């Protein structure tokens, strides 16, 4: 395939999607696989949102191209949510709706980065950030938060990592993969560092906003002077169980919003019209189902923590948000099953797939090679069975 571009040849495949694909293939081949690899709600999209999409189709009013940054009434609903729920002083003009938050983030990197510009990526990071930065010509610079720091690098570490080439910093809170949540105080400390540097932007990925067990979500864009320095990313996939609808958005300073819209105007046009109509209902309609799903994640989190704590050798912090556990599994490195040696987290994830029939993702994909990621967006019975199998398989390693 030497004819393919070096751009794509230098790109890693998404590890979350690759592992999910592997699990799907094994399942299709008749194996009893429990998939804890893909971060995807196992709930159905709430009925009121489904109905809004059906009504949009039946009205026959939404079959044409939508405005590139999204329908005005959707952007108004998003701006209203961000003003009242997140205290972000925005207007509909600051909002650009895209085909999933993944697409939103890609737009932002394309809008901000010139060749060689650096992006500080809080590590552990969500897999796609690195490849997106590279694709846009930028250079990802990892800023590591250790397990003892609850995986959150300090503002002091950030200060030390900034160079004249730093254009942006990115993190997710609640964090995929660690479940860490940045408090308002921690965000304030970050903002103080950022405001010392001209033209330095924060990309705040808040896609797990509604799956937060601390009871308080803080948005850095709401802090003094930070609105003009922050691109807030959010979407519908996680909180409203709408992964397949492909609907995400940014709230950004006007020049960035306009730039993203310009990029989108050449690449994709406005996102799916029907999904956008459903998005309005998601934001403005009854929130009961969303709250119920968040409560289910809370219960599952307690269950999985209890079961993981029964497994010797794992170091398992309690996540404060999102729907992942990210245990340190390095105590098993160097152990063997027959001739099979577990050299690293990737080997362990493959071992669990073949021996326990449970799919997980190696922490290496997230910049944390001692850990593995387990999604607990699965039913309680699946989680119990998966954790039982993991425990038994790990006990076989000597
Ligand atoms: N950011 C993070 C941290 C995620 O985990 C995901 C999950 N896919 C996304 C962004 C992208 O979400 P979407 O489905 O809206 O593209
Ligand atoms: N964000 C989810 C995950 O981390 C979905 C997969 C993806 O988009 O990479 O598993």
Instruction: Give the pLDDT confidence of 221-259 residue by residue, as tens digits.
Output: 999 999 999 999 999 999 999 999 999 999 999 999 999
Coil, helix or strand for 251?
A: strand
Say whether both 217 and 302 belong to one domain: no
- The residue out of 284, 307, 338 marking a domain boundary is 284
Provide the CATH number for the domain around residue 302. Answer: 3.90.1150.10
> How do residues 154-211 score in pLDDT, each as one tens digit?
999 999 999 999 999 999 999 999 999 999 999 999 999 999 999 999 999 999 999 9
The answer to whether 89 touches 227, Cβ cutoff 8 Å, is yes
Domain extent, residue 330, equals 6-44+289-395
pLDDT of residue 1: 80
Query: Are residues 202 and 143 part of one domain?
Result: yes
Whether 142 and 223 share a structural domain: yes
The string of pLDDT tens digits covering residues 288-312 is 999 999 999 999 999 999 999 999 9
In this structure, are 275 and 321 located in the same domain? no
Kindly state if the Cβ of 239 falls inside 6 Å of ligand 1: no
56 CA → ligand 1 middle, Å: 25
| Residue 316, pLDDT score | 97
Average pLDDT, the chain: 97
Secondary structure string (H, E, C) spanning 285-335: CCCHHHHHHHHHHHHHHHHHHHHHHCCCCCECCCCCECCEECCECHHHCCC
Q: Does residue 96 line the site of ligand 1, with CB under 6 A?
A: no
Each residue's pLDDT tens digit, 125-165: 999 999 999 999 999 999 999 999 999 999 999 999 999 99
306 shares a domain with 376? yes
126 CA → ligand 2 middle, Å: 8
Q: Both 135 and 178 in a single domain?
A: yes
Assess whether 253 and 142 both reside in one domain: yes
Asked if residue 52 is part of any domain, the answer here is no
pLDDT bin (cut points 50, 70, 90) of residue 261 is very high
CATH number of the structural domain spanning residue 269:
3.40.640.10
Shared-domain flag, residues 38 and 84: no
3-class secondary-structure state, position 248: strand
Among 269, 284, 299, identify where a domain stops: 284
Regarding whether 262 and 226 lie in a shared domain, the answer is yes
Distance, CA of 284 to CA of 278 (rounded, Å): 10
Q: Say if residue 120 is in the same domain as residue 262.
A: yes
List, in sequence order, every beta strand (DSSP E) within the chain.
34-35, 95-98, 118-123, 139-144, 166-172, 201-205, 230-235, 248-251, 324-325, 336-337, 340-341, 358-359, 361-362, 372-375
For residue range 361-396, list pLDDT tens digits in order: 999 999 999 999 999 999 999 999 999 999 999 999
pTM of the model: 0.97
- Among left, alpha and beta (phi > 0; psi -120 to 50; other), residue 87 is left
Q: Which of 279, 268, 269, 193 is nearest to 237 (CA)?
A: 279
What 3-state class would DSSP assign to 212?
A: strand
User: Residue of the nearest CA to atom 10 in ligand 2?
Assistant: 39
Q: What is the pLDDT of residues 48-65, one digit of tens each?
A: 999 999 999 999 999 999
Residues 137 and 259 in one domain: yes
Of 257, 284, 311, the domain-final residue? 284
- The answer to whether 308 and 325 are in contact (CB under 8 A) is yes
User: Which residues does ligand 2 sit against, CB inside 6 Å?
Assistant: 14, 16-17, 38-40, 102, 127-128, 176
Residues 336 and 218 in one domain: no
Question: Stretch 22-34: mean pLDDT, rounded?
Answer: 93
């Amino acid at each position: 395939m030497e004819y393919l571009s070096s751009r794509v040849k230098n790109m890693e495949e998404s590890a979350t999607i690759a592992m999910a694909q592997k699990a799907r293939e094994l399942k299709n081949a008749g194996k009893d696989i429990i998939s804890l690899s893909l971060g995807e709600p196992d709930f159905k999209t709430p009925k009121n949102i489904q109905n809004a999409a059906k009504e949009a189709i039946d009205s026959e009013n939404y079959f044409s191209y939508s405005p590139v940054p999204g329908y005005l009434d959707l952007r108004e609903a998003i701006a209203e949510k961000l003003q009242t729920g997140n205290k972000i002083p925005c207007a509909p003009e600051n909002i650009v709706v895209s085909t999933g938050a993944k697409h939103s983030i890609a737009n932002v990197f394309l809008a901000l980065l010139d060749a060689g510009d650096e992006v500080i990526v809080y590590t552990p990071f969500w897999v796609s950030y690195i490849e997106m930065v590279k694709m846009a010509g930028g250079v990802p610079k990892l800023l590591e938060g250790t397990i003892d720091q609850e995986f959150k690098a300090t503002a002091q570490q950030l200060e030390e990592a900034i160079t004249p080439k730093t254009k942006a910093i990115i993190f997710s809170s609640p964090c995929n993969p660690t479940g860490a949540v940045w408090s308002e105080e921690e965000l304030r400390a970050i903002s103080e560092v950022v405001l010392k540097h001209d033209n330095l932007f924060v990309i705040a990925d808040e896609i797990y906003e509604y799956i937060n067990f601390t009871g308080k979500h803080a948005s850095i864009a709401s802090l003094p002077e930070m609105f003009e320095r922050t691109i807030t990313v959010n979407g519908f996939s996680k909180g409203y169980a709408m992964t397949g609808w492909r609907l995400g958005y940014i709230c950004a300073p006007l020049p960035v919003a306009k730039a993203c819209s310009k990029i989108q105007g050449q690449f994709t046009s406005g996102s799916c019209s029907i999904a956008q109509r459903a998005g309005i209902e998601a934001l403005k309609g009854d929130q009961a189902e969303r709250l119920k799903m968040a409560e289910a994640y809370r219960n599952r989190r307690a269950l999985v923590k209890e079961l993981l704590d029964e497994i010797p050798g794992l170091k398992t912090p309690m996540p404060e948000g999102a729907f992942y556990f990210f245990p340190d599994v390095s105590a098993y490195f160097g152990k063997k099953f027959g001739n099979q040696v577990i050299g690293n987290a990737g080997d362990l994830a493959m071992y669990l797939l073949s021996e326990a029939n449970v799919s997980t993702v190696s922490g290496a994909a997230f910049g944390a090679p001692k850990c593995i990621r387990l999604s607990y967006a699965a039913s309680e019975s699946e989680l119990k069975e998966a954790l039982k199998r993991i425990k038994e398989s790990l006990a076989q390693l000597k």
